Amino acid sequence: MEKIQKSHVQVGGLKLHVAQIGTGPKVVLFLHGFPEIWYSRKHQMIAGLWTLHHPLEPEKANFNDPVDDIVALLDSLAIDKAFLLGKNFGAIPAFMVAIIHPERVLGIITLGMPFRLPGPLGLQFNLLPKGFYVLRWAEPGRAEADFGRFDAKTIIRNIYILFSGIELPIAGDDEEIMDLVDSSTPLPPWFTEEDLDVYATLYQNSGFRTALQVSYRCWQWDYGVTNPKVMAPSLLIMGEKDYFMKFPEMEDYMRKGIVKQFMPNLDTTFMKEGSHFVQEQFPEQVNELIITFLNKKI
């Protein structure tokens, strides 16, 4: 593996971590929400862990912030155009940059998240089942009380166990989301105790405040997007055992090509045994899919 060159840049008052690999085309990997480990052997990669830093006013943070940060990051590194890669909610800023600043985008790659924009119509909360984790964590103070019973390591452990499953995480009236995980359940075989220690250390330092605000609690804000269409070449990688496939109407949206109304130049790959963390389960296969896509589009 080529040597990873690490540095930091100041963007929007935040100190962002940057990892550069090789000298190939630029790929911006914008990790959002809970962090993911990613490796690339061939293409230069720039990664910013946004939700591990707190904005000055976290309660006002929203999806415009990471959009601005991506553009500022490109400017600070003198990159005119880049491929944007987003995992889960990290796909949302990538979609928004491609819509608001199409001249800065060579292509879009997303994992575990088809085209969706934040806003009242993007993910209709009224269609979600009662007790669903999205609804619970959108409620101010609910996740804080739930998480506050555990240390960061236990929270990350529970999240990896729960979200690597095929069923939607739904709590009953008398329980919270963390209660859905039996403490004796082992970690997924592809997620090691060493991985867990690294992630837990990150969140011991940062907490979960920004990750909860910028995803769940600002999702239904109006972001003023009037033409929700991404014209850049795009790749979606989904695990067929990703619980996200069971979101209301989501499987038809992807499999029947409805998503192409918004991303006409989209290629979709379903990985048969993949879960919500497909890139950690099958890093070599996912890397190959991404590298093949990049080589075709460069």
pTM attached to this predicted model = 0.88
Domain count for the chain, please give it: 1
Domain containing 156 — which CATH number? Answer: 3.40.50.1820
Q: Which two structure tokens, joined as six digits, stand for 105?
A: 């985008």
Q: Which two structure tokens, joined as six digits, stand for 140?
A: 């101010």
Structure confidence at residue 45 (pLDDT): 39
Instruction: Say if residues 116 and 228 touch (Cβ distance below 8 Å).
Output: no
Structure confidence at residue 269 (pLDDT): 97
Instruction: Say if residues 23 and 40 touch (Cβ distance below 8 Å).
Output: no
Structure confidence at residue 29 (pLDDT): 54
Contacts 24+ apart (CB under 8 A), 257-265: 259/114, 259/115, 262/115, 262/228, 262/229, 262/230, 263/108, 263/115, 263/229, 263/230, 263/234, 264/229, 264/231, 265/230, 265/231, 265/232, 265/233, 265/234
Residue ranges in the chain modelled with pLDDT below 50: 1, 31-50, 52
Structure confidence at residue 54 (pLDDT): 63
**CA distances, 264 to each of 25, 175, 200, 235 (Å):** 23, 42, 39, 11
Position of tokens 């800065």?
Answer: 104
φ, ψ at 4 (rounded to 5°): -90, 125
**CA distances, 113 to each of 53, 172, 207, 251, 280 (Å):** 23, 26, 24, 11, 15
118-144 as b/e: b if 16+ CB within 10 A: bbeebbeeeebeebbbbbbbbeeebbe
Structure confidence at residue 76 (pLDDT): 80
Dihedral sign (CA 107, 111, 112, 117): negative
Instruction: Say if residues 112 and 254 touch (Cβ distance below 8 Å).
Output: no
Structure confidence at residue 31 (pLDDT): 47
Structure confidence at residue 2 (pLDDT): 54
- Single out the residue of 292, 231, 290, 281 nearest to residue 86, CA to CA: 290
Q: Which domain does 135 fall in, by range?
A: 5-295
